[in-house]
Amino acid sequence: MFVDEATIQVKGGDGGDGCVSFRREKFVPKGGPDGGDGGKGGDVILIVDRNMTTLLDFRYRSKYLAKRGKHGMGKKMTGVGGDDLLIPVPAGTVVSDVGSGNVVEDLSRVGQKVVVARGGSGGLGNYNFATPTLRAPRKSTPGRVGEEKNVMLHLKLLADVGLVGKPNAGKSTLLSRISKARPKIADYPFTTRVPNLGVVRGKGMDFVVADIPGLIEGAHTGKGMGTRFLKHIERTQVLLLLVESISEDPAGEYSGLLDELGSFSPSLLQRPRCLVLTKSDLVSAGDIDVADIASDVFASEVISAVTGDRINELMNRVEEKLKELRSGAAGKNEGVDDEGRQD
């Protein structure tokens, strides 16, 4: 089961209480205060785990509590701090505070961490309150309560290329042809119910392709669960817009896809995109004029995922575009040190 949204309740551990204690040693009849401080409560920390791919685990457990700190003890001994609670999440998880709606962190790298609920500080033992005029204080303070909040987790897949098209446009068939992914395929709309990822072995580099369920008119408003699926292509560098060669109005279908993308996130229209006319095995070669459909693309191909026609050419052009984008990104970072300063 692919789960890409979850809400969890997290609470940092409470701090331990400070201790009221006095030295009780032989030959020291009037020992001073020696009550130690309480230990700090543990933090709740989210950490990216390479072995996780969905948020399914959070369907079965939604409350997470870190350990509290131990109380202070005599001889000025500070209580042991509570253990932090590490919660693994998949790469691509966006963490938001339910109360404020603010994004806390975008977790995209393996090993990346974020504290979502801090543990409370420990209370003060009575030795902290001793003064020249108050030599035997019986005062201590309790530990502070750990932070408690509700956190929303949104998973956005990390892929280089996103496949976009109406239901039954041939996205899953293409993904199965270019990678080892085996999405469910059938000759009816909405076969794909969840996003699928596949790794393409290129000539000089590998790249990840995401196939999202088909878009229908109004997808950007949530129809057909469109908003849940569209978010998975927000991180992609290149978009492949798939339109059936046998469509009665391929230009209108292409325009409709752009409308849905732009209405959901205008930034998606700034991504390099390629027009892919699918199912060429069902039409005559001279029946398609790609130039009449789109002129705002870096490439266009007429393919058949069934026969494999023009698939290699399409992947080569996508790989070239990705290399170009990565080279440009690397160039921008040249001469910049770890703190973002120019050399």
Paired residues of 87 in beta bridges: 46
Question: Does the domain made of 161-333 have the CATH classification 3.30.365.10?
Answer: no
- What is the reported pLDDT for 158? 84
Residue 334: pLDDT above 60?
Answer: no
Residue 225: pLDDT above 80?
Answer: no
Question: How would you class 130 by CB atoms within 10 Å of its CB: exposed for 0-12, middle for 13-18, buried for 19 or more?
Answer: middle
Q: Stretch 141-159: mean pLDDT, rounded?
A: 94
Question: Does the domain made of 1-155 have the CATH classification 3.40.50.300?
Answer: no
pLDDT (tens digit per residue) in 24-62 = 777 766 678 999 999 999 999 999 999 888 898 998 999
- What is the reported pLDDT for 91? 92
The DSSP symbol for 36 reads P
224 band by pLDDT with thresholds 50, 70 and 90: very low
- What is the reported pLDDT for 341? 42
- Taking the C-alpha atoms of residue 234 and residue 157, their distance in angstroms, rounded to an integer, is 9
169 band by pLDDT with thresholds 50, 70 and 90: confident
- What is the reported pLDDT for 332? 64
Q: What angle do CA 187, 248, 185 make, to 5 degrees?
A: 15
pLDDT (tens digit per residue) in 238-283 = 999 999 988 889 999 999 999 989 998 999 999 999 999 999 888 8
Residue 77: pLDDT above 70?
Answer: yes
Structure-model confidence comparison of residues 158 and 268, the more confident one: 268
Q: What percent of the chain has pLDDT over 70?
A: 85
Contacts of 102 (CB under 8 A, 6+ apart): 96
Summary mean pLDDT of the chain = 86
Domain range annotation of the chain: 1-155, 161-333
Both tokens assigned to 171? 């996205």
